[in-house]
Amino acid sequence: MPALRKSSDRYRSMATYFGALIRDLRDSHELRVGEPLTVSLLASRTGYSPSMIGQIERGESLPETGARVAALDDALQAQGQLKTLWPLVQRLGHRPMDELSAATNTLNPGYREKVPCALTGGDDMERRHLFQLAAWGLLAQSPIFSNGEHIRQMLEQALGTAEEFTADDWEARCANHMYAILNQQPTIVREALYVDLLSVRQKLIGTSPDKAADLQRITAWMSVMYANVLMRLGEYGPSHRWLATARRAADLSRDLDMQVWVRGTAAVFALYSPLPLTTTLTLAEQAQSLAGDRVTPGLLRAVAAEAQVLAVMGRQREAENRLNHLLDLAGQAVAAEEFSWTDDAVWFTASWVYSYGAEAEKAREARDNVLACAPRYQSQVNVQLHEALCVGAGGGYNEALNIATEVMSDLGSAYRTYPMLYTARLVLNAVPLEERRALPALGDYRKAVSTDIRT
């Protein structure tokens, strides 16, 4: 998969942002849809030449009409992202962000320094705010733009009536978002997180550096949760960028537990990404090194990710050694409640590792413990897929495919997540290539794991 564009190119103008988004969607097409999408193939499906597709992805050219954008959106299976963003792209086009920023500051020199303040009206001011939302990746996918949430918060800020939250209030909100991530459809959680991320951003603007640590910590936590939601929706590129934001915010806050949490989470997410499996090992080791002797949920996440990826790599003995280390550490963790860490995460890792090792009894016990700790739909789906992994690792290839097919077929598209789809696709990896075509369950299995995730 080609490397993502650097942020400086992506956010130079709306044209470059739009082009980079198209490239991200093309690069992630295989992960989201199940087949690669080359420049040539995208060109043939949209009536463009390959060279013109390249120009659009680089931000040098823009589609001529909304119909062209719709064709790109359909070919990329972007679920309306490009069509939603297109009106703003038309308005701002190639105009540099720096020019928009300068125009904003000319209209209202006190805008950045005096918040809350009365915002001066004008087209450039409006463009600046809209571009900021687009550059964050909010406008491209968010219902907030249509329901006026960004305008409401700006008005509250200008009136001096914006809601005030204590550190405890923000902590409670984060805990609620984490609960929602584990129990609700990802698209629903994403909308709620949008709103609070926008609120935190407004608070950060008016906070002096010496008082910003709490908000930086909350920014890190919400950003990593937003990355979590995007990862569940199969949007790895945006998820990776939000993780980078979370890491920078955590580092600015100087909260070691949050720094380790973000890095441990990044190790887990890398397992479900197109990155090499060794990347997960590297990220897990970095998180553990940063944690030192302090046993926190972030450290546990890193050790869990390490155990899981070692199992996928076929290094079963090492995987079980790290799992045993995780089990030893689990009872020693501090701040577990603060990060919504629960025992089911440990048993989830055990279920994964033992399933890869075809240790049926241990895997079954781990699955039962997961469901006893967390009887939610995501847990039920994942451990059933672990059972399929275990059966396949034991040589029951057709039965394994049947289990995975039944699990994924019974799951509505709105409730699917990319980790579920990724795990279901791993089931086929246990089947030798020479035996796949002869398996009666293969056709239905492939159909079940190719259904889109609703974004």
Cβ neighbours around 195 below 10 Å, total:
16
- Res 363: pLDDT: 97
**Of 133-142, 247-256, 285-294, which gets the smallest average pLDDT?**
133-142
With a cut of 50, say whether residue 426 has pLDDT above it: yes
Residue matched to tokens 């699955």: 367
**Of 25-39, 213-227, 374-388, which gets the smallest average pLDDT?**
25-39
**Of 151-155, 367-371, 411-415, which gets the smallest average pLDDT?**
151-155
The average pLDDT across 296-320 equals 96
With a cut of 60, say whether residue 39 has pLDDT above it: yes
With a cut of 50, say whether residue 190 has pLDDT above it: yes
CA 207, CA 232: separation in Å to the nearest integer? Answer: 33
Give the pTM: 0.68
- Res 168: pLDDT: 84
With a cut of 70, say whether residue 141 has pLDDT above it: no
- Res 154: pLDDT: 57
The average pLDDT across 426-441 equals 93
- Res 139: pLDDT: 46
- Res 342: pLDDT: 80
With a cut of 90, say whether residue 122 has pLDDT above it: no
With a cut of 80, say whether residue 234 has pLDDT above it: yes
Comparison of pLDDT for 320 and 112, the residue scoring more: 320
Selection from 205, 274, 238 nearest residue 17 by Cα: 238
Mean confidence (pLDDT) of the chain = 83
- Res 127: pLDDT: 44
- Res 126: pLDDT: 44
- Res 165: pLDDT: 72
- Res 136: pLDDT: 46
> Angle 28-33-35 (CA atoms, 0-180°, nearest 5)?
80
Contacts of 241 (CB under 8 A, 6+ apart): 4, 7, 137
With a cut of 80, say whether residue 44 has pLDDT above it: yes
120 in Cβ contact with 108 (< 8 Å): yes
With a cut of 60, say whether residue 150 has pLDDT above it: no
The average pLDDT across 361-376 equals 93
- Res 132: pLDDT: 52
370 in Cβ contact with 379 (< 8 Å): yes
CA 158, CA 206: separation in Å to the nearest integer? Answer: 12
The size of the chain, in residues, is 455
CA 410, CA 28: separation in Å to the nearest integer? Answer: 25
At 98, the pLDDT band (50, 70, 90 cuts) reads: low
User: What is each CA distance from 254 to 223, 243, 284, 314, in whole angstroms?
Assistant: 16, 17, 20, 37
The average pLDDT across 440-454 equals 86
At 32, the pLDDT band (50, 70, 90 cuts) reads: confident
* Residue pLDDT, tens place only, 66-89: 889 999 999 998 878 888 788 878
What is the percent of the chain with per-residue pLDDT over 70, rounded to a whole number? 82
